[in-house]
Every structure is written in structure tokens, then in C-alpha cells.
Amino acid sequence: MASSRTILVFGDSLSAAYGIRPEQGWVALLTQRLQTQEYGYQIVNASVSGETSSGGLERLPRALQLHQPQIVVLELGGNDGLRGLPVSDLRENLGQMVRLSQAAGARVLLVGIRVPPNYGARYTEEFASVFPQLAAEYHLPLVPFLLDKVALDPSRMQQDGTHPNAAGEPQVLETLWPYLKPLLKK
């Protein structure tokens, strides 16, 4: 039975605790914070490492039906960027996921991500602009860059330079929390 107090985290490896123990990831830390502060939400982490926006779009309708979330934390796009997929496809897929989530009665927190500059200035800028454009179009709260406090700190990143390590995950949560908290009800 689905709870009316469910947060669906729908992302990729950045939300799936890639390379670390699941309990060390920001989603598990969020679950602990919500319990400690008595918010009364359950978290469903439907994140899949390697997921693209097109793969997410295919999976989302079932996840919405199954979990009936009040809030969807939408954290996808990084793998689209790392594969150099068309920015127009990313924009369309994320927009469709926002529309599906809203039609299901959920509020959406859009999570921005950036790609490394080695993809060229034009692609990098177009990619980064998708998230604020969608947030404006759909009147969504936006986490500007999920890895803001860790991406340039090697002590908080795994050897791959892409994923936070266990020491970085609390900072990832601190980046997201100010945008999620206003959506929560006690």
C-alpha cells in the first residue's frame, strides 16, 4: 500500500550511492534526517546507476503508479551529458517526466547537474541551461548543481572524479536540503 507521504527519488548513480555502501548515500542520510526531525515521509529510492533521461522516462509511469508520491526528486541527465546525447532530447524527456509527475499529483524538485568542460563550451552551456529553463517553465524549485560543495574537492570525490565518496555525501544532502525542506509538511 502506498503512503500519501512518500518522496520518490528518481535519479542515476548520484542518487543510487554508486561506489559506496547504500547507507552512506545522500538518500539514506535524508531518510535519517526525516525520521529524526519527525517529518513522517517514507523515501523510495528508484535511482538506477547509468540511467539516462530516456530510460527514466520509460520507468517513471510505473514508479508513479506504484508509489503514488507526494514529492518527486528528479535527478537525471548526467549520463545523457556524459554520453554526449542531444540536449534537446534531455529537455524533452525531463519535461515529460515533470508533466507525468505533476499529473500524478506530485510536486517536483528538479536537480541540476553539470558535465565536464571537455565536451566543449557550447554543449556544456546548453546542457547546463536545460535545468533552469525547465524550472522556470514548470515553476519548479531547482537545486542548481547537486555536486556544488563536492565536485572540486578531491577529498570528497571517488577516484573517478564523478561520484561523491562517503565523506562527500553529507555535503550533497546539505546542497539539496534547502530546496526540499519547503516542500515538506510535518
Q: How far apart are CA 117 and CA 138, in angstroms?
A: 28
**Domain boundaries, position 69:** 6-183
Give the total number of structural domains in the chain: 1
Has residue 137 been placed in a domain?
A: yes
| Strand ranges inside the chain, DSSP E | 6-11, 42-45, 71-75, 107-111, 142-143
Give how far Cα 51 sits from Cα of 54, 120, 127, 174, Å. 8, 23, 17, 24
Has residue 1 been placed in a domain?
A: no
Between 45 and 185, the more confident residue is 45
In our burial notation (b when 16+ CB lie closer than 10 A, e otherwise), range 77-102 reads bbbbbbeebebeebbebbbebbebbe
pLDDT single digits (tens) 88-107: 999 999 999 999 999 999 99
Burial class, 166, CB count within 10 angstroms (exposed 0-12 / middle 13-18 / buried 19+): middle
Active site residues: 13, 160, 163
CATH code, 100: 3.40.50.1110
**Residue 3 pLDDT level (bands cut at 50, 70, 90):** very low
Has residue 179 been placed in a domain?
A: yes
Model pLDDT, residue 118:
86
Model pLDDT, residue 52:
98
pLDDT of 34 strictly over 90: yes
Model pLDDT, residue 2:
42
**Residue 4 pLDDT level (bands cut at 50, 70, 90):** low
What is the number of residues in the chain? 186
Q: pTM of this prediction? A: 0.96
What are the φ/ψ torsions at residue 177 (nearest 5 degrees)? Answer: -55, -45
Average pLDDT over residues 2-15: 87
